[in-house]
């Protein structure tokens, strides 16, 4: 992970911040089959329910999917945040069933909040809820009711791993990051966990993510920082071009670090915002690298753009291109696919004079200069594109703005995974 001055990576994920505890367990939302040796390493055999709770009330903010079809937990969490004015103390999440397109979906999502609230001694609206998995299947609330006592009783300040595993679906690895930094002479911590492998193409939202911090910051400033950072991290992520119905990213801040509460922009706000960026950027990379069936992490860095929005649009256009993704899988250094993807990006920027490089730990090679294909060392290009992390570097020569988008290659396994997703 890239180092940032003034910030130290630490262990702990959502439990890294003072006063946050978590737990995860298998409750049976989706029945676990007898292993036959052919299932995904995380398929149906891991935790499927988790809870993250703070010792004290938190200021909170969130971003959600912009899909017109919204999962019941998205609707319920939005209503709960509105009811409390941006306050929350716990977050309950499950995998295996998205509770979306169900007639009784909101009723059961509220029941999830109620079950956690009753045992934590807080109000129902002070609990956020997120769910992920198959869409359009009735959500069985009974397994949650049966295991909620065990879930709450097992809460611990070092149970971040149990929680991170519980939100995995087709993910093959857990995704969590945490950092330590100083504010107002106080040591602060910010950590998060995320899930996502397929159906990833956010728009002011992302996959399921929860971020916790002991930094004291108002709900308004959390929302501002989150909205700004999500634009250049999660919103620059695409695995397959399909935006989920359940995308949720929430930040909870309990203030236990003891710093003076951040209520306006300034130096302290920028320090907090940078910590949020570091955690969200790294989780974004993890999500991209673990795309369904993926063998390579792809990063498109666009520089020389006239403005940030243009840089983002072009970088995402390249990352989202099925032909680019296939070329990267096959280690085919076809610069025409990059130029094509930039050319249909919805921007007025003149991309016809761009330089295009392929970069990895095997080297760097210029394959397109001033918009024209070049002769290059095919063997070197093949070696560069055979690595598991590849950067497509584009210089537009149109300004000073830059942006990065993240994705993965498109493989045969992606089709296989999604061809029998419900099996």
- Would you please indicate which residues are annotated as catalytic (active-site) residues? 206
Name the residue among 176, 257, 249 with its Cα closest to residue 213.
257
**Residue recorded with tokens 């089959």:** 33
DSSP 174-241: -EEEEEEEEETTEEEEEEEEEE-SSS---SS--SEEEEEE-S-B-HHHHHHHHHHHHHHTGGGB-SSS
CA dist list (Å): 147 to 51, 53, 407: 12, 17, 37
DSSP reduced 3-state for 112: helix
Q: Which residues share a beta bridge with 210?
A: 193, 250
Question: C-alpha 203: how far from its chain's center?
Answer: 12
DSSP 294-322: ---EEEEEEEEESSHHHHHHHHHHHHH-H
Provide the angle, in degrees to the nearest 10, between the axes of the packed helices 322-329 and 308-320. Answer: 60
CA distance 56 to 35: 41
């Amino acid at each position: 992970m890239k180092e940032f001055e003034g910030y130290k990576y630490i262990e702990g994920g959502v439990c890294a911040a003072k006063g946050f505890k978590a737990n995860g367990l298998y409750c049976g939302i989706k029945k676990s089959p007898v292993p036959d040796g052919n299932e995904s390493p995380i398929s149906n055999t891991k935790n499927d329910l988790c809870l993250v709770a703070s010792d004290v009330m938190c200021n909170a903010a969130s971003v959600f999917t912009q899909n017109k079809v919204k999962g019941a937990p998205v609707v319920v969490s939005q209503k709960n945040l509105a009811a409390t004015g941006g306050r929350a103390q716990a977050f309950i999440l499950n995998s295996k069933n998205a509770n979306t397109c169900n007639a009784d979906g909101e009723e059961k999502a509220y029941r999830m909040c109620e079950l956690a609230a009753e045992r934590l001694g807080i109000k129902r609206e002070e609990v956020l809820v997120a769910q992920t998995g198959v869409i359009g299947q009735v959500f069985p609330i009974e397994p949650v009711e049966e295991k909620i006592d065990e879930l709450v009783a097992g809460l611990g300040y070092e149970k971040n791993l149990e929680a991170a595993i519980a939100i995995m679906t087709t993910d093959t690895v857990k995704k969590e990051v945490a950092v330590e930094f100083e504010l107002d002479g106080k040591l602060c911590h910010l950590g998060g966990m995320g899930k996502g492998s397929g159906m990833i193409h956010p728009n002011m939202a992302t996959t399921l993510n929860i971020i916790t911090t002991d930094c004291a910051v108002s709900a308004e400033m959390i929302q501002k920082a989150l909205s700004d950072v999500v634009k250049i991290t999660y919103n620059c992520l695409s695995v397959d071009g399909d935006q989920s119905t359940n995308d949720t990213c929430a930040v909870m801040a309990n203030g236990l670090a003891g710093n003076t509460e951040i209520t306006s922009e300034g130096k302290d706000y920028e320090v907090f915002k940078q910590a949020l960026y570091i955690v969200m950027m790294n989780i974004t990379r993890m999500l991209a690298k673990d795309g369904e069936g993926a063998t390579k992490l792809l990063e498109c860095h666009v520089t020389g753009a006239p403005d940030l929005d243009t840089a983002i649009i072009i970088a995402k256009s390249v990352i989202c291109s099925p032909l680019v993704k296939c070329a990267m899988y096959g280690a085919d250094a076809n610069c025409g696919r990059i130029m094509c993807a930039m050319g249909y990006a919805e921007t007025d920027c003149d991309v016809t004079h761009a330089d295009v490089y392929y970069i990895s730990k095997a080297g760097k090679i210029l394959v397109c200069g001033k918009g024209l294909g070049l002769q290059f060392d095919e063997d070197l290009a093949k070696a560069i594109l055979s690595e598991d992390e590849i950067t497509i570097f584009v210089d537009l020569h149109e300004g000073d703005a830059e942006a990065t988008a993240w994705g993965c290659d498109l493989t045969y396994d992606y089709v296989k995974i999604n061809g029998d997703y419900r099996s």
